[in-house]
Structure 1
């Protein structure tokens, strides 16, 4: 299993490259993704698909919000909790 730090790094790179289409952008572990508007509601589905594909964990539609995860740290925690 990957460490939380490795997951945060991987997820940040994937979000920058595949969702933001700006691979040079670095996203901090505690940087707000959703509440800041960095990722919009349309991109949340893409993010869920990336996480499901990379780590084999399911993110339900109702979980795609800032209350469930708003940072890479929270998202990595969810992936670890679900056994990736």
Structure 2
């Protein structure tokens, strides 16, 4: 499940946010701001796209630098949100 989410987030970065790197060069622990180059608008777009794509609601509290620092941290957030929404069954 984590691998599929990771691949989907990389696709979002490339196709929707125009990151000019091939997916295999985007490390799961690379900084989305420092390494990938997302700016504040990019993070807002990423939030909205993830909500739509993965059927989650990212609260203002969850929309923070820790949860959006890397692809892995974003995957963990999405898995946690889906698990909570489905009563621990995801």
Same fold judged by TM-score > 0.5?
yes
SS at match of 1:32: coil
Partner of 2:13: 15
Are 1:80 and 2:85 counterparts? no
Q: How large is the Cα RMSD of the aligned pairs?
A: 2.0
Partner of 1:32: 31
Distance in 1 separating the partners of 2:19 and 2:74:
20
SS at match of 1:82: helix
SS at match of 2:38: coil
Larger-gyration structure (1/2): 2
Partner of 1:64: 63
Distance in 1 separating the partners of 2:21 and 2:66:
26
Cα contact 2:14–2:21 (8 A) shared by 1: yes
Which structure has more relative contact order (CA 8 Å, sep 6+)? It is: 1
**TM score, norm. by length of structure 2:** 0.75
**TM score, norm. by length of structure 1:** 0.80
The Cα of 1:13 is off from its aligned counterpart by 1.2
